[in-house]
Structure 1
Amino acid sequence: MRAVQITRFGGPEVLDVVDLPDPVPGDGRQLYEVSAAGVNFADTHQTEDSYLAPQQLPLVPGAEFVGHPAGGGERVVGLLEGGGYAEKVVANPRLTWPVPDAVTDEQALAVVLQGATAWHLLRTSAHLAAGESVVVIAGAGGVGSLAVQLARRWGAGRVIATASSPEKRALAEELGADATVDPALADDDPKTFAAALREANGGKRVDVVLEMTGGNVFDGSFSALAPFGRLVTYGMAARQETRPVAPGALLGTSRAVVGFWLAHCMGRPSMMDDAMTELLPLVADGALRPVGGGRYPLTAVREAHQDLLARRTTGKLVLDPSR
């Protein structure tokens, strides 16, 4: 089968399309033929070996797929521990879900990892309450574009999104953001960014921030929190060191910092079921709009990573293993 393999760590240049033997399913696993594989920002960390879990070479990246069981069966979307950038994958059927006919491959891939992340960020980690203000960092991205819609759907009092270009800010507002902020304001001084978030919230501090950048964006977001506010951190896109939060800064202001990694939900499949059984029907009914970011041939995987790293994309990126 054709697959993308990494034999050395680095940037997009280490992604090589090669021929590999078909994977062999072990106990409790199933072989699937892949029609589309999802690309996530975390994959760029995996390529560099700069993410949460250390990587071992050689490896085939990719944590999600849409496909059919080998030999026939219904179309499913599933999560993987790796190996998704390929024509065939081995997956745990417990971490697959039937895809409704009205949902495209791209939409299903947007939901299974990024949509489930947005769902748990708001419900499980932030415990969003009706009327609270929500800041979504990277509101035009894969997770952010869905989090903006879910926050609005679940009764947020005001939704504020950050996005790096006028086009992306317009998209975030189209999806339901009441106001948008340019994250570049954090480049020189996190206090300037914090002030912009408060201004976007009518001069008041914010209740919830979903943060995936780190560095100055994290610092400014934390400074903008109201008493009892929650910052949920789920990424390190800036690849910058983030200053530790001192206990006194939490105690003295009644603020919270919560970490989230979807891998822990994969270890508790019922948590994934909670998200997927709500999200897929919403997409099928047209009530939730996953944003497509482009469908790339498997042979253009380096271009997909380059576009993602350069912030040239919005929404969900997908690889087509047939091309």
Structure 2
Amino acid sequence: MRAMQFERFGAPEVLAEAEVPDPVAGPGETLVEVEAAGVNFGDIKHMAGEHTDGPYAPKGPLPHIPGMEVVGRTADGRRVLGYVQQGGYAAKTVVADRDLVSMPPGVSAGAALALLVQGLTAWHVLRSVARVRPGESVVVHAAAGGTGSLAVQLAREFGAGRIIATASSGEKRAFALELGADAAIDGEAEGYKERVLDANQGRPVDIILDAIGGPVLDSAVDTLGYLGRLVTYGASSRKAASALAPERLAVESIGVAGFWLVPLIARNGVGGPALEELLDLTARGRLRPLVGAEYDLARARDAHEDLLGRRTKGKLVLRP
């Protein structure tokens, strides 16, 4: 079968097209003919060899086929969405049954792929970690990105009272407002507190969803109100935040929690009410995943370079 693989760790240029044997499903697994595969920063980290242990660690000897998300069909004709630790950049792949869900009619491959990692992350940071309640104010950092754009929409769906989006450009802020945010502001650390409080009509906020880290996280904590919660699920700034003293958390009655999707999938699989709700909301037109460019599988290297160069918007899709 046709696949993209790498024989050594490195930058996108290590990816090369190859003919490889078809995978064989074992007990508790299903063979899927791939219609589309999603592209993630995790794929790039896998290729770079950045993770030597933990959930992203490469499995088995080289060469490897990267790719964590696939949409395709099973031998009995079911159209499915699946999560794999590696092996998605191929014409066929094997998926554990607990990481495979049937797709409802009317959901595109790109939209479904956007729901798997980014959508589940947005759902869990709001529901499982922040435990958003109706009427609460929610600040979403990087609100025009894959996870942020879904978090804005889900916060509205879950009954948030006021949604404040942060984004780096006027175009992105306008997009966040289109998705349902009540206000959209610049997310830079300098002047952050004043902008957020002004956007929340002078009041401290209840929930902040942060994937930036560094000075932005430090500034965000200063805007939390009584029993406010900040959830960190990434650090795109690649800068360290100041250590938060436990005494401050206690005195101000605020909480800071973290979330990473991969360990949750390792424990429970992707199936369950979260993904079912995301797919249902999308099928009914209540949730709009942001889908970006599509590439032929042989151009996977170009997709990685575009992602690294921040030239993309929305979920990138490979077509075998």
TM-score where L is the length of structure 2: 0.90
| Number of equivalenced pairs | 315
Residue 66 to residue 270, structure 1, CA distance change in 2 (3 Å): closer
How many Å separate the matches in 1 of 2:163 and 2:99?
31
Question: Are residue 226 (structure 1) and residue 228 (structure 2) matched?
Answer: no
Secondary structure of the corresponding residue to residue 62 of structure 1: coil
How many Å separate the matches in 2 of 1:53 and 1:245?
27
Question: Are residue 63 (structure 1) and residue 68 (structure 2) matched?
Answer: yes
Greater shift, 310-319 or 287-296, is seen at 310-319
- Aligned partner (choices 86, 89, 93) of residue 85 of structure 1: 89
Secondary structure of the corresponding residue to residue 119 of structure 2: helix
Question: Could you say which residue in structure 1 is the equivalent of 2:122?
Answer: 118
Secondary structure of the corresponding residue to residue 162 of structure 1: strand
How many Å separate the matches in 2 of 1:284 and 1:162?
27
How many Å separate the matches in 2 of 1:154 and 1:30?
34
In structure 2, give the amino acid aligned to 1:244: A
Question: Could you say which residue in structure 2 is the equivalent of 1:31?
Answer: 31
How many Å separate the matches in 1 of 2:208 and 2:184?
13
How many Å separate the matches in 1 of 2:185 and 2:309?
19
- Displacement of 1:53 in angstroms is 4.3
How many Å separate the matches in 1 of 2:143 and 2:80?
27
Secondary structure of the corresponding residue to residue 156 of structure 1: coil
- Contact 2:83/2:270 (8 A) holds in 1: no
Question: Could you say which residue in structure 2 is the equivalent of 1:262?
Answer: 261
How many Å separate the matches in 1 of 2:96 and 2:275?
16
- Displacement of 1:255 in angstroms is 1.5
Secondary structure of the corresponding residue to residue 267 of structure 1: helix
How many Å separate the matches in 2 of 1:193 and 1:49?
36
In structure 2, give the amino acid aligned to 1:86: A
- Displacement of 1:243 in angstroms is 3.1
Residue 121 to residue 144, structure 1, CA distance change in 2 (3 Å): same
Q: What percentage of aligned pairs have identical amino acids? A: 50
How many Å separate the matches in 1 of 2:40 and 2:282?
20
Question: Could you say which residue in structure 1 is the equivalent of 2:41?
Answer: 41
Q: Which runs of 5+ in 2 are unaligned?
A: none
- Contact 1:141/1:316 (8 A) holds in 2: no
- Displacement of 1:134 in angstroms is 0.7
List aligned pairs for 1:146-165, cutoff 5 A: 146-165=150-169
- Contact 2:156/2:163 (8 A) holds in 1: yes
Greater shift, 234-243 or 160-169, is seen at 234-243
Question: Are residue 175 (structure 1) and residue 179 (structure 2) matched?
Answer: yes
Question: Could you say which residue in structure 2 is the equivalent of 1:279?
Answer: 278
List aligned pairs for 1:201-216, cutoff 5 A: 201-216=200-215
Residue 43 to residue 198, structure 1, CA distance change in 2 (3 Å): farther
In structure 1, give the amino acid aligned to 2:255: A
TM-score where L is the length of structure 1: 0.90
In structure 2, give the amino acid aligned to 1:91: V
How many Å separate the matches in 2 of 1:62 and 1:54?
11
- Displacement of 1:168 in angstroms is 1.6
In structure 1, give the amino acid aligned to 2:220: S
How many Å separate the matches in 2 of 1:315 and 1:198?
29
RMSD: 2.1
How many Å separate the matches in 1 of 2:201 and 2:7?
51
- Contact 1:141/1:314 (8 A) holds in 2: yes
Question: Could you say which residue in structure 1 is the equivalent of 2:135?
Answer: 131
Question: Could you say which residue in structure 2 is the equivalent of 1:253?
Answer: 252
Q: Which runs of 5+ in 1 are unaligned?
A: none
Question: Could you say which residue in structure 2 is the equivalent of 1:107?
Answer: 111
- Displacement of 1:149 in angstroms is 0.5
- Contact 1:5/1:61 (8 A) holds in 2: yes
4+ runs deviating over 6 angstroms? none
Question: Are residue 20 (structure 1) and residue 20 (structure 2) matched?
Answer: yes
Residue 84 to residue 222, structure 1, CA distance change in 2 (3 Å): farther
Question: Are residue 305 (structure 1) and residue 304 (structure 2) matched?
Answer: yes
